Amino acid sequence: MSKTNNDVVIKQLLEKVEKQKADLGTKERNVWLTNGVFKFDASNCVNINTVSDGSVLASALALLIEKETAFKDACRRLGVKAEFKWNGYSMDEWEEDFKTRIKAITWSEKKKVLDSTKTKLNQLVSEEARTEMELDSIKALLEN
C-alpha cells in the first residue's frame, strides 16, 4: 500500500475509534446501595470500588448465593419468616452493586483499548495527513 492509501485507511480507522468513543459516553458515577465493602469473613474483605477483576465479584456473589440458599432452607425447616441479609444488606443490593462495578470495569477496559488504538494510529499517520487532519479540525471549529 502506498503512503496515501495508508493515510486513507488510518483516517477511516481513527473515525471509527472516535465514533466508538462517542458511543461509549462518559463514565457513569457509581452509586452504591451498600457501603461498598464486601466481607467474605472477618479477615477478608474487598472495597468494591477498587476491584478490577470481575472474578472477585463473582466469588462474592457465589458466597452470597450459597449463604442465602442455606438461610432460606434453615428458615423453612424452623418455620421462620426472615429476609437474608449479609452485613446488613440484601442479596439484591449486593448483586446490584456488583453489576454496577462490572459495568465500570468494562467501560474502563473499552476506553483503554480505544485510547491505545488511537495512539497507535496517530503514530502511523504521515506528516502530510496529520497536517490535513489538524486543518480540518481547525476549519470545523471555526465553522461552528
pLDDT of residue 134: 84
Please count the residues of the chain.
144
- Checking if the pLDDT of 3 tops 70, the result is no
pLDDT of residue 44: 94
pLDDT of residue 77: 97
pLDDT category at 111 given cuts 50, 70, 90 is: very high
Q: Which three cell numbers stand for residue 126?
A: 504521515
- Checking if the pLDDT of 8 tops 90, the result is no
- What residues does each domain of the chain span? 33-143
Alpha helices in the chain (DSSP H): 3-24, 54-78, 91-124, 127-143
**Mean pLDDT computed over 98-127:** 92
